[in-house]
């Protein structure tokens, strides 16, 4: 192979190695929201964990906590409260692409009930920081965004009537420095060998 041919091969090798940036990653998740239960007056609000029932692929909206609501307070009386909450979301990258690994990203916020009784509820959620967002797991970058809140229905025991949800986005597979170093060393060696052969042929 000529020197020009070797350089062309080298030029193709690096983009091929980086081509994994467009691969959609597979992952699973489990959550651990707190506080598990908050009682105020005759009302109780619960936050229960959720885990994926199957492997997910690509950008996906996921539920990260079920919000339950029960009350024995009868109108016109009502209960009100403010509940600071935290929802750690542990994501596990399923190889390939990348390698197996897990890390935790935490959503924090405040849940506010301005009415809660047997006649109904009025509530809202204010979302704050997302801690450790943009973490790299097994060579794949994961970010959490667009948190949302669906209010529960008082005394409805159906799971998932109220919930917190957000968008999980796995992005480019990050090329490992060691892999790039090995590639670079190999290319330098091949080019050096070709140069030596060329000099010997011209001697």
**Confidence (pTM):** 0.74
Cβ pair 117, 43 in contact under 8 A:
yes
Residue 32 has pLDDT above 90, yes or no: yes
DSSP class per residue in 54-110: S-EESSEEEEEEEEEEEE-PPTT----EEEEEEEEEEEEEESSSS--EEEEEEEEEE
Structure confidence by residue, pLDDT tens digits, 75-108:
999 999 999 999 999 999 999 888 999 999 999 9
Name the residue among 36, 87, 41 with its Cα closest to residue 64.
87
Q: Taking residues 107-111, report their average pLDDT.
A: 97
Q: What is the pLDDT of residues 42-66, one digit of tens each?
A: 999 999 999 999 999 999 999 999 9
């Amino acid at each position: 192979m000529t020197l020009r041919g070797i350089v062309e091969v080298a030029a193709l090798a690096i983009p091929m190695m980086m081509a994994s940036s467009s691969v959609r990653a597979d992952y699973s998740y489990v959550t651990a929201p707190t506080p598990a239960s908050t009682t105020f007056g005759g009302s109780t609000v619960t936050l229960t964990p959720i885990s994926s029932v199957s492997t997910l692929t690509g950008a996906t909206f996921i539920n990260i906590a079920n919000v339950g609501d029960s009350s024995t307070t009868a109108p016109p009386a009502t209960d009100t409260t403010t509940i600071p909450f935290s929802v750690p979301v542990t994501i596990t990258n399923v190889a390939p692409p990348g390698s197996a690994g897990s890390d935790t990203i935490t959503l924090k916020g405040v849940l506010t009930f301005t009415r809660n009784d047997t006649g109904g509820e009025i509530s809202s959620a204010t979302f704050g920081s997302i801690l450790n967002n943009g973490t790299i797991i097994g060579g794949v970058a994961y970010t959490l965004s667009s948190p949302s809140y669906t209010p529960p229905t008082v005394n409805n025991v159906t799971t998932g009537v109220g919930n917190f949800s957000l968008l999980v986005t796995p992005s480019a597979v990050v090329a490992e420095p060691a892999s790039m170093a090995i590639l670079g060393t190999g290319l330098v060696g091949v080019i050096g060998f070709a140069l030596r052969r060329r000099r010997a042929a011209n001697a």
